[in-house]
């Protein structure tokens, strides 16, 4: 069995220096593969972001995908496109951030590529492992399951708003602004907790909130052929989102914003005490936000006024 706290077999047989890496998969494990990239103007504002944090985030968003499958991250391949004239210290900062995040989660960077590009992009392909039959998919939720999220929501959207406004200054609300900026620029992938949910068989379905609750909950429901009811009054809205955006927009950001990289998962009724004990043991905040219902009932938000309404439209779509 794979160990809970660290990967096994993470060292490549042949790493950087040849035309391809040679990897030895862990015994009695299935391979997980995910890829995500960040690009200037869509995912990052490079002129307003330290390069080290761009590197850390590029690795983190992929780690979050492995976490959502209940797996162990092992190795990564990184491809970077840099505009001509990029200062060498800037490029080194980017590489340092990638390496920091990889080391923190015991991931070996085994290769990749660099090239000149019209605008910055950083692509990571991450390889992980999970016990046969133990990957947590989106399709396992059943009617009656409880829905949970880790952490708090909305701070990343608030941080992006601050970057776009160019506001980072000191003064009233500084702590909230710093928290919001950190949530957006340096997200914390829930690798250990996702792994614990998977190896413990607690999560019946799971997805990471890369695109926000309003987009990712329907994805989980579609895969599980189910509906859901979410309680607006119990959503863990990050205080930084409300402080930066205001009460109404902050609460909307918790639902329709994106890039929180928290885990949304379903669990069978009766596991509440086990989940609470696990969350306390790992120091992870977990909040029950709703219930899986029959597909014919759709996906609804129970407002603080006691009325049901559809989820708001996501704030961002790549090809809209």
Q: What is the residue-wise DSSP string for 276-308?
A: HHHHHHHT--EEEEEEEE-GGG-EEEE-TTS-E
Q: Where are the domains of the chain?
A: 30-130, 138-310
**Above 50 in pLDDT, residue 285?**
yes
Q: What is the mean pLDDT of residues 15-40?
A: 82
* C-alpha span between 107 and 138 (Å, rounded): 25
Lowest mean pLDDT among 170-179, 223-232, 234-243, 306-315: 170-179
* Domain 138-310 in this protein, CATH class: alpha beta
Q: What integer best gives the mean pLDDT of the chain? A: 90
Span 141-166, pLDDT tens digits: 999 999 999 999 999 999 999 998 87
Helix (H, G, I), strand (E, B) or coil at 211: coil
Strand partners, 22: 14
Q: How far apart are the first and last CA of the chain?
A: 44
Contact 262, 150 (CB under 8 A): yes
**What letter does residue 130 receive in the DSSP assignment?**
E
CA distance 146 to 23: 39
Give the pTM. 0.92
Q: At the top level of CATH, which class does the domain 30-130 belong to?
A: alpha beta
Q: Among the listed ranges 2-6, 27-31, 253-257, which one has the minimum average pLDDT value? A: 2-6
Contacts of 241 (CB under 8 A, 6+ apart): 153, 154, 155, 157, 158, 180, 250, 251, 253, 254, 257
């Amino acid at each position: 069995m794979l160990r809970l706290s660290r990967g096994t077999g993470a060292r490549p047989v042949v790493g950087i220096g040849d035309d391809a890496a040679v990897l030895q998969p862990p015994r009695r494990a299935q391979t997980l593969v995910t890829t995500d990239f960040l690009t200037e103007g869509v995912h990052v504002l490079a002129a307003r972001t330290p390069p080290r944090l761009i590197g850390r985030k590029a690795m983190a968003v992929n780690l979050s995908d492995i976490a959502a499958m209940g797996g162990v991250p092992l190795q990564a391949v990184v491809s970077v496109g840099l505009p001509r004239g990029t200062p060498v210290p800037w490029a080194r900062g980017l590489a340092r951030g990638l390496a920091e995040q990889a080391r923190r989660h015991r991931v070996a960077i085994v290769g990749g590529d660099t090239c000149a590009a019209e605008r910055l992009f950083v692509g990571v392909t991450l390889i992980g492992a999970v016990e046969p039959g133990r990957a947590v998919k989106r399709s396992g939720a059943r009617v009656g399951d409880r829905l949970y999220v880790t952490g708090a929501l909305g701070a990343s959207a608030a941080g992006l708003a601050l970057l776009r406004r160019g506001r980072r200054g000191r003064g009233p609300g500084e702590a909230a602004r710093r928290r919001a900026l950190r949530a957006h620029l340096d997200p914390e992938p829930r690798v250990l907790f996702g792994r614990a949910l998977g190896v413990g068989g607690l999560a019946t379905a799971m997805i990471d909130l890369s695109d926000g609750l309003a987009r990712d909950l329907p994805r989980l429901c579609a895969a599980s052929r189910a509906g859901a009811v979410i309680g607006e009054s119990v959503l863990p809205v990050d205080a930084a989102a409300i402080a930066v955006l205001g009460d109404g927009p902050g609460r909307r950001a918790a639902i329709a914003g994106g890039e929180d990289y928290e885990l949304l998962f379903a669990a069978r009724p009766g596991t509440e005490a086990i989940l609470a004990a696990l969350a306390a043991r790992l120091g992870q905040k977990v909040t029950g936000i709703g219930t899986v219902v029959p597909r014919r009932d759709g996906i609804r938000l129970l407002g603080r006024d006691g009325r049901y309404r559809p989820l708001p439209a996501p704030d961002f779509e790549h090809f809209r």
